[in-house]
Amino acid sequence: MRISTGGIEAACKNKAPFKCCGDSIEIARFKQFLSDEIILNYNEMLREKATPNPRYCSKSQCSAWIPPECITGSLGTCPKCETRTCTLCNQRHHQEGCVQDKVDSAFWSLFTEQGWKRCPNCGHSIEKTGGCRHMICAGCKYQWCWKCEQPWDNSHFCGRPAPIT
């Protein structure tokens, strides 16, 4: 039996899981019909998609994904061309400190000084300028308590006495 691998290859190229009728397909079901290379490429694409804040090679002719195991500190080494990429600014790695690192350091100092917080759901930076503890993230619309950073619901009182009913 021959099976067309075009759909799986297109999924890898488009960096989107292979689907049939809207449902993701487990590639292991078709392992006997696919080459090891196609399976490896597909599984790597899924790993890339699942990696938070993925990094890519700074060499424009390459631009390959740099897996987490190829990153040490702010240095990412491309597994395909071995180009060294700064993971802070996504440019070629530089021996002298990264300008982005200095900018980030200044930002986080200000962030801490001002008492700003990050949305517990998406990490969006939040500044509270007034009002109650009920926060709604502008980034993801997640609702949470400023004081305890737990999900908000209408019965949330976080250290305040509950209303008398």
Q: Give residue 163's pLDDT.
A: 58
Q: How crowded is residue 125: how many other Cβ atoms within 10 Å of its Cβ?
A: 14
Q: What are phi and psi of 24, to 5 degrees?
A: -65, 140
> Which amino acid does the sequence have at 127?
E
pLDDT digit string, tens, across residues 83-103: 999 888 888 887 776 766 666
Name the residue ranges covered by the structural domains of the chain: 1-50, 53-114, 115-165
Place of tokens 């989107």: 16
Q: What's the rounded Cα separation, in Å, for the pair 162 and 155?
A: 8
Per residue in 12-26, pLDDT tens? 777 777 777 777 777
DSSP-derived pairing of the beta strands 84-86 and 117-118: unpaired
Question: pTM to 2 decimals?
Answer: 0.52
Identify the bridge partners of residue 66 per DSSP, sorted by sequence position: 55
Give the residues of the chain that fall short of pLDDT 50: 1-2
Give the model's pLDDT for residue 102: 64
Cα atoms found within 13 Å of the Cα of residue 101, Cβ hemisphere only: 13
Distance CA 18, CA 22 (A): 9
Contact between residue 65 and residue 48 where contact means Cβ atoms under 8 Å apart: yes
The reported pLDDT for the residue numbered 94 is 79
